[in-house]
Amino acid sequence: MLEPVSVGLKFAFLAVLYLFLLWVSRSALKDLRRGAFGGARPPVAADATGMHPASSLNVLDGDGEVTPRLVVESVPGLSRGMAYDVGEGATLGRGDVEIQLEDPFASSRHAQLTRQGAILVIEDLGSTNGTYLNDELLRGPRPLHAGDRVRIGDSTFTYSD
């Protein structure tokens, strides 16, 4: 009789199936622990900027002033050409931060600009959907240069200094 073989095959079937599932879910878990992006860093505490009052939102009037600004290229709810003064650094995100974005794809604390000497450095704060500098995914802190495009979700800014 082949009855034992049949029972054996059933258990072999289930065993192979569960081992396969274990293997796939192990890599899935690894993904989840790592966060959305491979090797993303834990969010950095924003001690550099603290909670100073929201940056003044002023229209760029082209007076040749040389303060670092993030100029709105296309940001939901804001008109093109408006600019944020970011000379002292700022945090961008959907939450209670200096530069508030009405963008569902932005994290509450999404990205941070910090002043380091004469240059301004942009860094992603472990956001879910990433920050793009000139259409490239930001990995680690990067200095900003005039004309750089910063994109978060559907919001795009141009940096000028």
Partner 1 sequence: MNARNRELLALIPATLLVTAGFAAVFIQRENLLNDLSLTYGAIFLALCVAAHLVLRMTLPDADPYLFPLVAVLACFGLVMLYRLDEELAREQAQWFVVGLIFFTGTIVALRRDHRVLERYRYVIALGGILLLLLPRLGNPVNGAYLSFELGPISFQPAELAKIAIVIFLASYLRDTRQVLVIGARRFAGITFPPLKHLGPLLAVWGTAMLLLFVIQDLGSSLMFFGGFLALVYVATNRISFVLIGLALFALGARVLYAIRPTIESRVDAWLHPFEPELYEREIGGSYQIAQSIFSQADGGFFGQGFGQAIIQLGDSAPILPAAHTDFIYAVITDELGLMGAVAVLLVYLLIIERGFKTAMLATDSFSKLLATGLTAVLALQVFVIVGGVTKLIPLTGVTLPFISYGGSSIVANFILLALLLLVSDRARREVAP
3 state SS for 39-95: CCCCCCCCCCCCCCCCCCEEECCCCCCCCCEEEEEEECCECCCEEEECCCCEEEECC
54 contacts partner 1 (rule: CB under 8 A)? no
Contact range with partner 1 by CB under 8 A, out of 14-22, 60-68, 85-93, 114-122: 14-22
Contact range with partner 1 by CB under 8 A, out of 24-32, 55-63, 82-90, 117-125: 24-32
* Burial of 86: CB neighbours in 10 Å, binned 0-12, 13-18, 19+: buried
Sign of CA pseudo-dihedral 31, 37, 40, 46: negative
Among 71, 73, 105, 121, binds partner 1 (CB under 8 A): 105
Comparison of 76 and 143: residue with beta carbon closer to partner 1? 76
102 contacts partner 1 (rule: CB under 8 A)? yes
132 contacts partner 1 (rule: CB under 8 A)? yes
CA 149 to chain CA centroid, nearest Å: 14
CA dihedral 161, 79, 107, 124 (to 10 degrees): -20
Beta bridge partners of 83: 58, 71
Among 51, 57, 76, 116, binds partner 1 (CB under 8 A): 76
Task: Please provide residue 30's backbone torsions phi and psi, each rounded to the nearest 5 degrees.
Answer: -60, -45
Residue 79 Cβ, how far from partner 1 at the closest point, in Å?
13
Residue 27 Cβ, how far from partner 1 at the closest point, in Å?
7
What residues line the site for partner 1 (CB under 8 A)? 1-2, 5-7, 9-14, 16-21, 23-25, 27-28, 31, 36-39, 76-77, 102-105, 128-130, 132, 137, 153-154
